[in-house]
Amino acid sequence: PNREVRVSDRFDQSVTALLTAADTLFIATVFRQEDGVPSQGADVSHRGGKPGFVRVEDDRTFIFPDFPGNRYFNTLGNIAVNPRAGFLFPDFLNGDLVYMTGEAEVVWDGQSIEGYEGAERFVRFRAEEVLHVEKSMPFRFTFDSYSPSLERAGT
């Protein structure tokens, strides 16, 4: 079936609503040093938090806390050498997907971190292209309850 796809370089009202209500996102980053170097490659990681953990700063920029994880720093290391990144925000209730590409940066210290319990750093993203594809996810999710470990995610 044909799906409505809205393409923009900014967050419209529906994308902003999805971002600010999100409890899950996926970030894609890439490391490429030289052709043929075996350590190059892409990384796609999940990030999550309590609904509202993503804060929209303006119509192209959002920031979110990075909590303690596996300590591999694949995503953050990739951003340090190549700020290009992609994001996917799923809406499990209605099946919408929001994809975006742009540039990310790691915010290691400052007032944002001090004011967010449990955050070790933040990731800020500035979108260059935003695609909102309505009802494109083939499954839906009925919310039951949050994981007890989410309590450590802070507010």
pLDDT digits (tens, 9 = 90+) for 134-143: 998 887 777 7
Question: Which pLDDT score is estimated for 70?
Answer: 59
| Residue with the two structure tokens 């470990």 | 149
Residue 139 identity: F
Residues 6+ apart with CB under 8 A from 135: 3, 94, 95, 96
Question: Which pLDDT score is estimated for 74?
Answer: 83
Band of pLDDT at residue 116, cut at 50, 70 and 90: confident
Residues 6+ apart with CB under 8 A from 64: 25, 47, 49, 53, 54, 55, 122, 123
Question: Which pLDDT score is estimated for 54?
Answer: 94
pLDDT at residue 97 tops 70? yes
Q: Which residue has the higher pLDDT, 98 or 141?
A: 98
Q: Which residue has the higher pLDDT, 83 or 39?
A: 83
Question: Which pLDDT score is estimated for 108?
Answer: 87
Task: Express each pLDDT in 77-93 by its tens digit.
Answer: 899 989 999 999 999 98
pLDDT at residue 71 tops 90? no
pTM assigned to the model: 0.86
Band of pLDDT at residue 114, cut at 50, 70 and 90: low
d(CA 137, CA 112): 33
| CA angle, 93 then 97 then 102, to 5° | 140
